[in-house]
Amino acid sequence: MNKFTLARHSLLISTFIGTLILIAAPAVLITDAYAQEGYNEATQYSEAELAQMLAPIALYPDSLLTHILIASTYPLEIVQANRWAAANRHLDARLAIKKAGDKNWDPSVIALLAFPNILNKLSDDLVWTQKLGNAFLQDEAGLLAGIQSLRQQADQAGSLAEMQYMSVTRVDQQIIIESAQKEIIYVPYYNPIVVYGHWHWYNYPPVYWTAHPYYAPRRHGHFYWSSAVHITFNYYFSTFNWNKHHILVINHHNSNHYRHRKQIMTSQGAQRWHYKPQHRIGSQPQAHNNGPAPSRLQPKNERQHILDNKNSKLRNRNKLTDSKNNDSRLNNRNKLTDNKKNDSRLNNRNKLTDSKNNDNRLYNRNKLTDNKKNDSRLNNRNKLRRPNKQQIGNSEPHINKKRQSAVHQRDKPVRIPKQMKNQQRKSNSYKSKQNRAPKG
């Protein structure tokens, strides 16, 4: 009995230990994954690696380059925006950005909808986009210094003088590239190996973007140019502060008119750009130069914030679905009510038509009856007024044949014998003579 009890206790203990191991294993794996991700994101990029990833965009105009750097920190929104742009490619830049205003995307991501080729490049080469965003978040000053280094290298190669649609200025040994025309943006394409002259980092060749077919006809020197994009939307709300090596932003609303970089820098609401973790779902950075690096092993506040955002979005989606269902039900109910009303009206109309038809039939029938009666009365009257011989003969059948013959004999003229005729003739002549004799 004791042996059986010990065996049972040992079995229970082993089962309990196995359960604890199964429960703790996922937590250990998640912690290890967080640690590995934090290690990868905390990796610092060298000057050669920065030059390699910045080569295709370092000569873009400053206003467009700020939007690319900010948007690269939100790769998921870039993919969503690119898919949305592909589904709405029939819209022009102003209408596309206006229609996408209700999206919960960063303003820089929305601004890139006016440049579908760039947005497509960022979405297709997502590994490069994530590296660029991580490098920008980890060392903003170092990344801006890498841009200036590449611009200096292109200037030494004489390539900046061939930028036809750009205005290149030098302020405090910093090269500033802006559009030559206000509120019109041209996007350049170039071969980094040719434009930058001698490439200093042989083991890190520059990223090469193939030219878009629309770029080919507009070539000037080593540069190809896209079609002009007229800025009639919120665009001029960010610029570089090259002296302090960071990006400044203002309120992105009502920024559809041209603003010089100095106007943005001296605006009352100008402030340094800050990263928004809620826009980077599933890819939180480990280091950020705007504040202390959050720990990846205990990101409770950030994860709770993300979960709250997800729950709020889910609630809003459920509310929207419920409202749509209610609207559909109300529409169906209204349709049913309208159909019933139409049916009742049609039935009333049919009833009225039937009653009118019945009245007409009854009226016609009465008319026919009256006509028949009148005809019969008239016939009777005519019969009464003009009886024919047949009617008379039929009406007096009791007269015998002798009486009929007597009547017939009476109606015949009387024959006078000749002697009586002569005597009557003589008397008449005598009377006439007497009448002609003179009175004595």
Q: What are phi and psi of 438, to 5 degrees?
A: -70, 155
Structure tokens at 197: 């002259």
Q: Which residues contact 56 (CB under 8 A, 6 or more apart)?
A: 190, 192, 206, 207, 208, 209
Q: What is the pLDDT of residue 176?
A: 94
In the 8-state DSSP scheme, what is residue 380?
H
State the pLDDT at residue 57: 95
pLDDT band at residue 23 using 50, 70 and 90 as cut-offs: very low
Query: CA-CA distance, 170 to 160, in Å (whole number)?
Result: 12
pLDDT tier, 223 (very low <50, low <70, confident <90, very high otherwise): confident
Measured distance CA(316)–CA(278) in Å, rounded: 16
Secondary structure of residue 247 in the 3-state scheme: strand
Residue keyed to tokens 């559909």 = 328
- Kindly report which listed range (202-211, 334-343, 397-406, 417-426) carries the lowest average pLDDT score: 397-406
Q: How confident is the model at residue 40 (pLDDT cuts 50, 70, 90)?
A: very low
Q: What is the distance between the alpha carbons of residues 14 and 415, in angstroms, rounded to a whole number? A: 170
Q: How far apart are CA 289 and CA 355, in angstroms?
A: 89
Global pTM? 0.57
Per-residue pLDDT of 121-146, as tens digits, reads 999 999 999 999 999 999 999 999 99
Q: What is the pLDDT of residue 259?
A: 83
| The pLDDT of residue 435 | 65
| 3-class DSSP state of 402 | helix
What is the C-alpha separation between 4 and 7, in angstroms, rounded?
5
pLDDT digits (tens, 9 = 90+) for 235-256: 888 999 999 999 999 888 877 7
Specify the pLDDT at position 415.
63
What's the whole-number average pLDDT of the chain? Answer: 76
**Predicted pLDDT of residue 224:** 85
pLDDT for res 307: 66
Q: How many residues are present in the chain?
A: 440
- Residue of 283 and 420 predicted with greater confidence: 420
What is the average pLDDT across 395-418?
57
pLDDT band at 80 (very low <50, low <70, confident <90, very high): very high
pLDDT digits (tens, 9 = 90+) for 346-396: 777 777 777 777 777 777 777 777 777 777 777 777 666 655 555 445 445
Q: What value does the mean pLDDT take over residues 272-299?
A: 56
* pLDDT tens-digit series, residues 427-437: 777 667 666 65
Q: Which residue from 37, 118, 103, 117 is spatially nearest to 71, judged by alpha carbons?
A: 118
Looking at per-residue pLDDT, the higher value among 258 and 198 belongs to 198
Rounded to an integer, what distance in angstroms lies between the CA atom of residue 134 and that of residue 63?
20
Q: Which of 38, 33, 103 is nearest to 74 (CA)?
A: 103
